[in-house]
Amino acid sequence: MNQTQQKGHPKGLYLLFVTEMWERFSYYGMRALFMLYMTQALLLNKETASEIYGSYTGLVYLTPLLGGYISDRYWGNRRSIVWGAIVMAIGQLLLFLSACYYTHISVAQPLMMAGLGALILGNGLFKPNISTMVGSLYAEGDNRKDSAFTIFYMGVNVGAMIAPLWCGLVGNTGHPEDFKWGFLSACIGMLIGALVFQLLKNRYIVTPEGAPIGMPPVPQAATVPEAEKPVAKENKVSYRRIIVAGLGTLVLLLLFSINWGSFSNPAISIFEGTDWIGSMIYACVIVMPLFIITDPSLTRLEQQRIGVIYIIAFFVIFFWAAYEQAGASLTFFADEQTDRMIGGWEMPAAYFQSFPALFVILLAPVFASLWSFLGRKGIEPASPVKQSIGLLLLSLGYLFIAFGVHGLEPGVKVSMMWLTGLYFIHTMGELSLAPIGLSMVYKLSPVRFSSLLMGVWYLSTSAANKLAGLLSSYYPEEGVEKSFLGYQVENLFDFFMVFVFMSGAAAVILFLLSSKLKKMMAGAE
Ligand code: GLN
């Protein structure tokens, strides 16, 4: 049977599903407790805690670039995944130890920082590599990839849904000494994932012929006789490129970090209020993709396809920046302006954060079979079209809630239906965009760059997490005047309309570009 017509999926997909499920359990379980731990156990103020939180969620999606590079160049996917998992388990263990000594801040805080560092590095090794591996289970041209990534994405969300419930139950009890149990659960979850992967990878992560997938790369030059290798010249070019990229990053870092107000006001120092990590992220977002696409080993066609990844990744920044309001402004909204009474029980505001994950789990099978079905009929929309549909649905979700709050007096609460509806619409958008994006990156990347480009894809999440924090700060507060690019944000309606316009405009522009992008993909779908 021709592979493109096959039904069902290789068993390896389910192994990756389970591994990623445990890893995301660990990630989201820790994330659910992290803010509370900092403010309730370590007694950090909200501002410091938010800063640490924002930097952590930004950096965790910056390091996949590094992990992608190491894997494509030296380790291959398998080894990177295993080491990433081990380093993350160590990170969670350090958080557990930090929480054991939470009353001794001078011990607890350095342990926490070391733990965060390990999580950031470990995620960098793990996340791009497990994503690439999903694609590598299928032959080129196999049209089951979009549906495979959608199933994989369900694994992400099974972990994301259970984690806050379990880690919240054992860790967030109102007694600060219990946080450690949440972190320990996250550590154990990660170890289970690592163990399952380690034990079963040789059996299941294989080609249909049984050859292992995800081994270290075979250097291409190995086939060329030693004397013919232009080593010296190549080394010179790559050193020069690295120096230029390094200097470029440094210059942008400084440009983003300077407090421009200090030139007109001597009372302000030049780096006052600088968010160094944010500046670093923005500098990398600009320099790294340029560095990769100008690699001398790439052909024009490869560059063109990588260009498509970049253009779409740019639009995706606006998707996640609006979507990630879930953990920020939408949680304030759930807390302050949503009637959460069910019978005689008031649902905690934080529970709303499990809704998107639950909806992904419910809707993913529907979407996976929809893509397969349309694929078999030959009428499946191209990736850029699916992604613009995703952005449009995001915009519609905000439009829906904007209606719900139109003309609402401050302090009045609206029905839960509005927020639930928003999350439902957003999830449909997420399923049209996120797994499809992973699949697209895989299909458009030259094999020797596939994990690195997956890292670039996650770079847009890194930038988006930073942008989300900024956008969330426009959440209306009584007595505080806020305006966004000259647009007055006086009430909730105005606030939600910012997202309607932002994602709506991105959807329309991407849609208009889609036929051009499809041509640039040159049959790589
Ligand atoms: N929910 C996804 C995950 O955790 C989001 C990833 C992203 O790119 N923003 O994997």
What pLDDT, in 10s, does the model give residues 409-430? 877 899 999 999 999 999 999 9
Ligand 1 probe mutation, 320, 361, 439, most atoms within 8 A of CB: 320
| pLDDT mean over 198-217 | 90
Q: What angle do CA 381, 382, 388 make, to 5 degrees?
A: 85
Give φ, ψ of 341 to 5 degrees.
-80, 130
Under CATH, which number does the domain 298-476+486-525 receive?
1.20.1250.20
Ligand 1 probe mutation, 21, 65, 156, most atoms within 8 A of CB: 156
- Indicate the domain borders of the chain: 9-216, 298-476+486-525
Q: Is the CB of 449 under 6 A from ligand 1?
A: no
Distance 142 CA to ligand 1 centre (A): 24
Q: Give the integer Cα–Cα distance in Å for 339 and 326.
A: 17
CB 61 within 8 A of CB 68: no
Q: Provide the CA 429 distance to its chain's centre, in angstroms.
A: 15
pLDDT at position 123 over 60: yes
Give φ, ψ of 484 to 5 degrees.
-115, 110
SS3 484: strand
Q: Give the integer Cα–Cα distance in Å for 64 and 285.
A: 12
CB 145 within 8 A of CB 135: yes
pLDDT at position 134 over 80: yes
Q: Is the CB of 320 under 6 A from ligand 1?
A: yes
SS3 104: coil
Model confidence band, residue 147 (pLDDT cutoffs 50, 70, 90): confident
Q: Whose CA is nearest to atom 5 of ligand 1?
A: 434
Residue that has been written with the tokens 């350090």 in this structure: 94
pLDDT score, position 226: 52
Q: Whose CA is nearest to atom 2 of ligand 1?
A: 156
pLDDT at position 7 over 80: no
Q: Give the integer Cα–Cα distance in Å for 22 and 198.
A: 13
| C-alpha pair distances (Å), 224 with each of 230, 236, 299, 428 | 10, 20, 19, 49
Model confidence band, residue 208 (pLDDT cutoffs 50, 70, 90): confident
Greatest CA separation found in the chain? 81
Q: Provide the CA 372 distance to its chain's centre, in angstroms.
A: 25
pLDDT score, position 3: 44
CB 221 within 8 A of CB 68: no
pLDDT at position 282 over 60: yes
Q: Give the integer Cα–Cα distance in Å for 313 and 462.
A: 11
- The chain-wide mean pLDDT, for the chain, equals 90
Token pair listed for 287: 């320099």
pLDDT score, position 130: 96
Q: Give the integer Cα–Cα distance in Å for 158 and 361.
A: 7
pLDDT at position 176 over 90: yes
Helix ranges, 172-275 (H): 179-204, 231-257
The residue among 438 and 476 whose pLDDT is bigger is: 438
pLDDT score, position 5: 47
pLDDT at position 81 over 90: yes
pLDDT at position 228 over 70: no
Q: Give the integer Cα–Cα distance in Å for 63 and 124.
A: 4
CATH ID of 9-216, from 1.20.1250.20, 1.20.120.420, 3.40.50.1000, 1.10.274.100: 1.20.1250.20
Q: Is the CB of 461 under 6 A from ligand 1?
A: yes
Q: Is the CB of 156 under 6 A from ligand 1?
A: yes
Q: Give the integer Cα–Cα distance in Å for 433 and 15.
A: 23
* Amino acid of residue 419: L
| C-alpha pair distances (Å), 389 with each of 166, 306, 381, 511 | 34, 22, 10, 8
pLDDT score, position 432: 94
Distance 224 CA to ligand 1 centre (A): 41
Q: Which letter, b or e, does each residue of 244-272 get, where b requires 16 or more Cβ atoms within 10 Å of its Cβ?
A: ebeebbeebbeebbeeeeeeeeeeeeeee
Distance 461 CA to ligand 1 centre (A): 8
| pLDDT mean over 489-512 | 94
Distance 434 CA to ligand 1 centre (A): 7
Q: Which residues, 6+ apart, have CB-to-CB distance to 379 below 8 Å?
A: none
Token pair listed for 524: 């790589």
| pLDDT mean over 261-280 | 85
pLDDT score, position 332: 78
| pLDDT mean over 240-268 | 89
pLDDT score, position 126: 97
Q: Give helix 276-293 / helix 46-59 axis angle, nearest 10°.
A: 10
Model confidence band, residue 225 (pLDDT cutoffs 50, 70, 90): low
Q: Which residues, 6+ apart, have CB-to-CB distance to 420 below 8 Å?
A: 355
Lowest mean pLDDT among 7-11, 16-20, 28-32, 416-420: 7-11
Q: Which residues, 6+ apart, have CB-to-CB distance to 87 below 8 Å?
A: 118, 121, 122, 125
* Amino acid of residue 481: E
pLDDT at position 307 over 90: yes
| pLDDT mean over 357-375 | 90
Distance 155 CA to ligand 1 centre (A): 11
Beta pairing partners, 341: 346
**What's the predicted TM-score (pTM) here?**
0.89
Distance 156 CA to ligand 1 centre (A): 8
pLDDT score, position 6: 60
pLDDT score, position 466: 85
Q: Which atom number of ligand 1 is nearest to the Cα of residue 360?
A: 1
Q: Give the integer Cα–Cα distance in Å for 201 and 173.
A: 38
Beta pairing partners, 345: 342
Distance 153 CA to ligand 1 centre (A): 9
Say if 9-216 and 298-476+486-525 have the same CATH topology: yes
pLDDT score, position 4: 45
CB 457 within 8 A of CB 442: no
SS3 345: strand
Model confidence band, residue 221 (pLDDT cutoffs 50, 70, 90): low
